[in-house]
Amino acid sequence: MTLSLTAAQLHGPTSLAEAVRLVAGGAVPLAGGTWIMRGPRAGDHVVLAGLAELHGVATAGDTVVVGALATHAELARHAWPPALAALRTAAAESAFPQVRNVATVGGNIGAAGFAEADLVPALLALDARLRLGDAGGAVPLAGYLAARPAGALVVAVEVDAPAGRTSGFARQTVRGGGEYAIASVALAVDRDAAGVVTAARVAVGAVEPVARRCPEAESALVGAPLTAASARAAGAAAAAGLHPRDAPDAPGWYRAAVLPAVFERAAARAAEEPR
């Protein structure tokens, strides 16, 4: 363990460009602080709260753009289309009110080492893209999580909400209440008029060190209606393809063992959304 005795230096940029420059130079972005305040709290931090560009949720056609400073509470309150219901549920069931009121989507994505982040699997299942504070276009969230490019500031998250798609999210905790999930599941499905799944995106959080899509579960869902049985089978397929982590709150085998049940709950929620 390193003990840092350096005082934190806070920067309050007055423009997004200035914030981007500071973060590119190595300063840490500070949004709601709920992750950072549990760490050493030292070094340079960039206070983002004053930057209007990072706030709010906007819709352009089928695409929804969520500012990085949108809190879990705001996401839980927002009127989402059925395609994005998983995001609402993940935000509403994460942690508890005092944390949801300040913790942001940008922080949930940007917190390295946060295996239990709830919004991340939901956003992966929704095929989210990130706008980083550079001149380039939006990048896939999955790629960002794999590389965690140093000095990149998450400015906004883009998700598509085509008609006919529904999504659902469920999480499992050891006790009730506001704990970290030991496994979380988000799925988004497109279904034809007969209810047969034509495309599926599935992501699992808290099981591996970083949330990820589960192609085995996606192929297991396609070609049949979304039922409790098909969801459980997809959960078993996902469990077989994952490398679950052991941690004090749950051993790896247990995380894998609960997955079919969590899949069933997430699928039931996706199925009950209107199409």
Partner 1 sequence: MTPLLDVLRDRLGLRGAKAGCGEGRCGACTVRLGDRTVASCLLPTVLATEPVTTVEGIAPPDGPLHPVQDALLEHGGVQCGACIPGMVVSICTLLESDPDPDEATVRAGLTGNICRCTGYQKIVEAALAAAGKDQP
Q: Which residues bind partner 1 (CB under 8 A)?
A: 8, 10, 12, 30, 32-34, 36-38, 41, 45, 47, 49, 73, 95-99, 101-102, 176-178
Minimum Å gap between C-beta 65 and partner 1 is 24
Is residue 70 helix, strand or coil? coil
| Minimum CB distance to partner 1 smaller for 94 or for 166 | 94
Minimum Å gap between C-beta 121 and partner 1 is 21
The span from the CA of 275 to the CA of 272, in Å, is: 9
| Minimum CB distance to partner 1 smaller for 175 or for 243 | 175
| Minimum CB distance to partner 1 smaller for 38 or for 243 | 38
Minimum Å gap between C-beta 159 and partner 1 is 25
Q: Cα–Cα distances in Å, from 222 out to 106, 124, 146, 214, 260?
A: 31, 18, 26, 13, 16
| Minimum CB distance to partner 1 smaller for 110 or for 244 | 110
Minimum Å gap between C-beta 33 and partner 1 is 4
Minimum Å gap between C-beta 38 and partner 1 is 5
| Minimum CB distance to partner 1 smaller for 36 or for 200 | 36
Classify the C-alpha dihedral 113-116-121-123 as positive or negative.
negative
The span from the CA of 119 to the CA of 74, in Å, is: 13
Yes or no: say if 98 and 85 are a contact pair by the CB < 8 Å rule: no
Provide the angle, in degrees to the nearest 10, between the axes of the packed helices 85-93 and 252-272.
130
